A and B are shown apart, each in its own frame.
Chain A
Amino acid sequence: MTAPGTFVARYGIWIFGAVLLLIMPHVFTSSFALNLMSQMGVLIIFSLAYNMLLGQGGMLSFGHAIYFGLAGYFTIHYLNFVYDDIAPYIPVSLFPLLGGCVGLFFGTLVGYVSTRRAGTTFAMISLGFGEMVTALTLILVAIFNGEDGIQTDRVVGPEPLGISYGPNIEVYYLIAVWVLVAAAAMYALTKTPFGRMSNAVRDNPERTEFIGYNSQRIRWLAFALSSFFAGLAGSLHAINFEHVGFEQVSALTSGLVLFMAYIGGVGHFAGPVIGAVLITFLNGTLTTYTEAWQLYLGVLFVAVIMFFPGGLAGLIIMHQPIWRIDTRLLAPLTVPYLLFIGALLVSLIGFIGLVELLIYKTSRLGAAHDLTIFGITMDPSGVVPWISFAIVMAVGVYAIRKAFPVAAGAWNTAIDQARARAAQ
Chain B
Amino acid sequence: MESFIFALFNGVLYGMLLFMLASGLTLIFSMMGVLNFAHASFFMLGAYFAYSISTYVGFWPALIVAPLIVGVVGALVERYGLRPVHSYGHVAELLFTFGIAYVIEEIVKMIWGQVPVPYDIPESLNFTLFAWAGLDYSAYRVFMLLVSVGIFVALFALLTKTRIGLIIRAAVSDPTHVATLGHDVPTIFMWTFGFGCALAGVAGVLGGNVLGTEPAMALQLGPIVFVVIVVGGLGSLGGALIAALLIGIIQTMAIFYDFGINAALLAVGIEIDAAGMFRDFARITTAQASPVIPYLLLVLMLIFRPRGMFGTRDV
Contacts and interface: CB of A to CB of B under 8 A. Distances in A.
Interface stretch (A290-298, A384-392, A415-423): A290-298
Given A116-B306, A117-B315, A142-B278, A255 B102 contact: yes
B292 A121 contact: no
Contact of B96 (A131, A297, A299, A306): A306
Nearest to B107: A295
A364 interface: yes
Contacts of A298: 99, 102-103, 106
A188 interface: no
Contacts of B98: 62, 255, 258
A282 interface: no
Interface string B277-315: 111110010001101101110110011001000000001
Contacts of A255: 98, 102
A302 B103 contact: yes
Interface stretch (A29-37, A174-182, A355-363): A355-363
Given A131-B295, A302-B81, A140 B281 contact: yes
Interface string B221-248: 0010011001000100000000000000
B110 A292 contact: yes
B292 A60 contact: no
The 9 closest A-B pairs by CB, nearest first: A132-B295, A295-B106, A302-B99, A298-B103, A298-B102, A135-B291, A140-B280, A120-B35, A128-B295
A120 B97 CA distance: 12
Interface in A61-116: 62, 77, 113-114, 116
A395 B96 CA distance: 26
Nearest to A300: B99
A15 interface: no
A291 B113 CA distance: 11
Given A62-B98, A128-B223, A298-B103, A142 B230 contact: no
A113 B303 contact: yes
B91 interface: yes
Nearest to A262: B95
A258 B230 CA distance: 23
A124 B226 contact: yes
A305 B95 contact: yes
B5 interface: no
A60 B102 CA distance: 16
24 contacts: A113-B302, A113-B303, A117-B315, A120-B94, A121-B230, A121-B234, A124-B226, A128-B227, A131-B223, A131-B295, A132-B299, A135-B291, A136-B292, A139-B284, A142-B277, A142-B278, A297-B102, A301-B102, A302-B96, A302-B103, A309-B92, A362-B112, A362-B113, A363-B113
A143 B306 CA distance: 32
A299 B90 CA distance: 20
A144 to B, nearest CB: 9
Contacts of A135: 291-292, 295
B253 interface: no
Contacts of A367: none
Contact of B295 (A129, A143, A294, A295): A129
Interface string A210-230: 000000000000000000000
Interface in B58-117: 81, 84-85, 88, 90-92, 94-96, 98-100, 102-103, 106-107, 110-113
A258 B106 CA distance: 17
B280 A142 contact: yes
B92 A305 contact: yes
B294 to A, nearest CB: 8
B230 A124 contact: yes
Contacts of A117: 302, 306, 315
Given A141-B280, A143-B280, A309-B88, A125 B298 contact: yes
A332 interface: no
B178 interface: no
A58 interface: yes
A117 B85 CA distance: 23
Contacts of A362: 110-113
Contacts of A129: 295, 299
Interface string A339-375: 0000000000000000100110011100000000000
Given A60-B95, A140-B280, 5 more contacts: A119-B91, A120-B35, A251-B219, A292-B106, A306-B96
Contacts of B102: 255, 294, 297-298, 301
Contacts of A295: 103, 106-107, 110
Contact of B277 (A60, A143, A292): A143
Contacts of B291: 131, 135
Contacts of A359: 110
A333 interface: no
Nearest to B299: A113
Given A60-B91, A302-B81, A305-B96, A128 B306 contact: no
B102 to A, nearest CB: 4
Contact of B90 (A116, A120, A251): A120
Nearest to A293: B106
